[in-house]
Amino acid sequence: MTLLRAILGTLLLLAGTVWAFTAHAQDRMPDYQLGAGDGIRIVVFQNPDLTLETRVGGDGTITYPLIGAVKLGGLTIASAERAIAKALANGQFIKAPQVSILVTQIRSHQVSVLGEVAKPGSFPLETFDARVSSIIALAGGVTPAGADVAILTGERDGKHFSKEIDIPGLFLERASKDDILVEGGDVIYVPRAPVFYIYGEVQKPGSYRVERGMTVRQALVQGGGLTPRGTEKGLRIYRRDVDGKVITITPNLDDPVRPQDVLRVGESLF
The pLDDT assigned to 193 comes to 96
Question: Mean pLDDT over residues 252-259, rounded?
Answer: 96
Handedness of CA 211, 216, 221, 222 (dihedral sign): positive
User: Do residues 128 and 144 touch, judged by C-beta distance below 8 A?
Assistant: no
Q: How many domains does the chain have?
A: 3
Amino acid at the residue 193:
A
Helix (H, G, I), strand (E, B) or coil at 195: strand
Residue 82's domain comprises: 2-105
> Is pLDDT larger for residue 270 or for residue 44?
44
Give the bridge partners for 70, in sequence order.
62
Which of 190, 211, 242 represents a domain boundary (last residue)?
190
Contact (Cβ atoms closer than 8 angstroms) between residue 110 and residue 148:
no
Task: Determine the pLDDT at residue 55.
Answer: 92
Asked whether the predicted pLDDT for residue 16 surpasses 80, the reply is: no
Average pLDDT over residues 25-43: 75
92 and 8 within one domain: yes
CA-nearest of 74, 131, 113, 90 to 191 is: 113
Domain endpoint, select from 105, 136, 164: 105
Q: Any idea what the CATH number is for the domain that residue 42 is in?
A: 3.30.1950.10
- When pLDDT is cut at 50, 70 and 90, the band that residue 30 belongs to is low
Give the pLDDT confidence score for residue 205 in this predicted structure. 96
Half-sphere exposure of 20 (CA within 13 A, CB side): 6
Residues linked to residue 110 through DSSP beta bridges, in sequence order: 124
> Sign of torsion, CA 160 165 171 174?
negative
Query: Of 105, 134, 152, which marks where a domain is finished?
Result: 105
Residue 80, pLDDT > 60, answer yes
Per-residue pLDDT tens over the stretch 108-120:
788 999 999 999 9
Q: Please, what's the b/e burial string for 18-36 (b: 16 or more CB within 10 A of its CB; e: otherwise)?
A: bbeebeebbeebeebbbbb
Averaged pLDDT for residues 63-79: 93
What is the reported pLDDT for 270?
A: 62
Q: Is 90 helix (H, G, I), strand (E, B) or coil?
A: helix
pTM, two decimals, is 0.65
Residue 10 sits in the same domain as residue 82: yes
**Residue 163 and residue 208 share a domain:** no
pLDDT tier for residue 129 given thresholds of 50, 70 and 90: confident
Share of the chain above pLDDT 90, in %: 69
